[in-house]
Amino acid sequence: ETGVTQTPRHLVMGMTNKKSLKCEQHLGHNAMYWYKQSAKKPLELMFVYNFKEQTENNSVPSRFSPECPNSSHLFLHLHTLQPEDSALYLCASSQERTRANEQFFGPGTRLTVL
Amino acid sequence: QQQVKQSPQSLIVQKGGISIINCAYENTAFDYFPWYQQFPGKGPALLIAIRPDVSEKKEGRFTISFNKSAKQFSLHIMDSQPGDSATYFCAASMGGGNKLTFGTGTQLKVEL
């Protein structure tokens, strides 16, 4: 595997379900991100982890719970979601403390909440 | 409050033509301006980026023009090809930080 991988690629869940999204980066980066992508809206930054420590929580509802056990893996735990949470959830990684700022994105998980 | 405004929302260009996408920002502390390209079913990928110490950056058929005084920057795609059909996002960040603020995206279609 190369780059940033995300599983599952598609997820349909009911409002009472609990599920988790997984992201893995194979780039040796030390920062990881969760974004929400909805149609006709800017990508919304949800969470940022630098060196496994959460450094940004962009006023995300508590029904989204991130977990970063190490610098290569990032999870997004989902529970009691709402239909408006249906979107493409993107994971990204970057090498922090360089001038590059480039973020590498995974293909995303298409989430549908019924 | 949206800090990066992108236009147009969609664009249709003939093969061989020039595609132009514009972005305007409000925060003068922004010092890094990337453009990302996203194909269906894929995540965004960095296409080209510029810092405000230059007014233009060119990589192949892709050029960023940057106007610091107007707080605007634009992406020009020369000799547009059907394979360029994708959604393009401008973004901005500040202080070497990793928090990117994205525009709303432009869906480009290049027709034969």
**Three-state DSSP state, A7:** strand
Q: CA-based Rg of chain A, rounded to a whole angstrom?
A: 13
* A43 to B89: CB separation less than 8 angstroms, yes or no: yes
Q: Distance of alpha carbon A113 from its chain centroid, rounded?
A: 16
- Please write the tens of the pLDDT for every residue from B59-112: 999 999 999 999 999 999 999 999 999 999 999 998 766 789 999 999 999 999
Does residue B102 belong to the interface with chain A, where contact is any CB pair within 8 Å?
A: yes
Q: Which of B100, B101, B103 sits opposite A103 (nearest CB)?
A: B100
The answer for A 51-110 residues in CB contact with B (under 8 A) is 56, 90, 92, 94, 96-97, 99, 101-108
Nearest Cα neighbor of B44 from A11, A59, A105, A34 is A105
Mutate to test the interface with A, among B2, B6, B10, B98 (most CBs of A within 10 A): B98
Token pair 């940057």 in the structure block, residue = B66
pLDDT of residue A97: 63
C-alpha A77: how far from its chain's center?
10
- Rounded-to-integer distance, Cα A34 and Cα B52, Å: 27
Helix (H, G, I), strand (E, B) or coil at B23: strand
Query: How wide is the angle at C-alpha B27 spanned by C-alphas A95 and B69, nearest 5°?
Result: 110
pLDDT tens, A48-93?
998 878 888 888 999 999 999 998 999 999 999 999 999 999 999 9
CB B104 within 8 A of CB A42: yes
Q: Is A83 strand, coil or helix? A: helix
| Number of helices (H), then strands (E), in chain B | 0, 11
Rounded Cα gap, residues A64 and A15, in angstroms:
13
